[in-house]
Amino acid sequence: MDFTGQVALVIGGASGMGLAAARILAARGADVVIADRNEEVLQRAVEACAEQGLAIVGYRLDACSTVERAALFADIEARHGGLNILFNTLGSHGPAGLDTDVATYDKTFELNVKVHYFCVIEALPLLRRRAPQASVALMSSAGGLRYAGRSPLYAISKSAVVMMAQALARDLGPEGIRVNALCPGAVDTPFAGSEGDAAARAAGMAAWAARVPLRRVAHVDEIARAVAYLASDDGSYLTGLALPIDGGALLV
């Protein structure tokens, strides 16, 4: 998978699956921009990548801000002229149970659905300049394919991302822009452990692994390699997919 001369943007790229994807794309020759709201974590990620010989550019972004998104895409246009790969990793766990308030509902859908949609729409002028070598990867979840309990809003919002990928794939396909959704199961990331302490996190990961046919949770690189594959020439005839990367969890 050679991405030399291509430009990639990873939103939410300062840690976890986003950073893993940024590293793989950069190692294969892409000019990579990672955008993230946490400036301190972003700077550490850029410095760590530089130590590995990966020239990745960091951009501080509140992806919920229309103004900040516009500034980011304007900067990419000025520096690179176009965009080949857009990977959006943003998301929210969503509240547990059925009882929630309107503000929590709105925030869950803003992070899991709204931001994904508008990032694609606002990036379209840049993607069109690189078509047919242009692709989008949206972050859904195995929970968007089958409800696994805990948070109905999470499952509903992630299923909306699956339909978003299908709808955009159909409408943008004639322009040579491919759109796919990733549907990971449990992944060993900071996001997966953001609720509770380290011991609770480890127990949760172990419990999940025991239910998965492969008997383990995913490593971030396994998700990142799927991003690279879908964006590569090897994946050039793949669009509208909802790709489970779950160790067979959906089979159980």
Q: Tens digit of pLDDT for each residue in 16-41?
A: 999 999 999 999 999 999 999 999 99
- Mean pLDDT computed over 229-250: 96
82 has pLDDT over 50: yes
The answer to whether position 101 is within a domain reads: yes
Q: Tens digit of pLDDT for each residue in 89-109?
A: 999 989 999 999 999 999 999
**Angle value at C-alpha 161, between 160 and 166, nearest 5 degrees:** 100
Element (H, E) at 107: helix 102-109
The answer to whether position 203 is within a domain reads: no
User: Which CATH number do you get for residue 73?
Assistant: 3.40.50.720
138 has pLDDT over 70: yes
The answer to whether position 196 is within a domain reads: no
pLDDT above 90 covers what percent of the chain?
86
Per-position DSSP letters for 175-194, written without gaps between them: GTEEEEEEEE-SB-STTTTS
- Mean pLDDT computed over 153-172: 97
Element (H, E) at 243: strand 242-245
Evaluate the CA torsion angle 61, 86, 157, 121 in order and state its sign.
positive
Chain mean position to CA 67 = 21
Residue 149 or residue 86, greater confidence? 86
Average pLDDT, the chain: 94
Q: What is the pLDDT of residue 200?
A: 78
Residue of 38, 152, 146 whose CA lies nearest to 90:
38
The answer to whether position 252 is within a domain reads: no
Q: What is the pLDDT of residue 193?
A: 46
The answer to whether position 208 is within a domain reads: no
Domain tally, the chain: 1
For the question of whether the overall pTM of this predicted structure is more than 0.85, the answer is yes
**Structure token pair of residue 34:** 């990672």
Cβ-Cβ contacts under 8 Å for 174 (sequence gap 6 or more): none
Domain membership of residue 20 as a residue range: 7-186+221-244
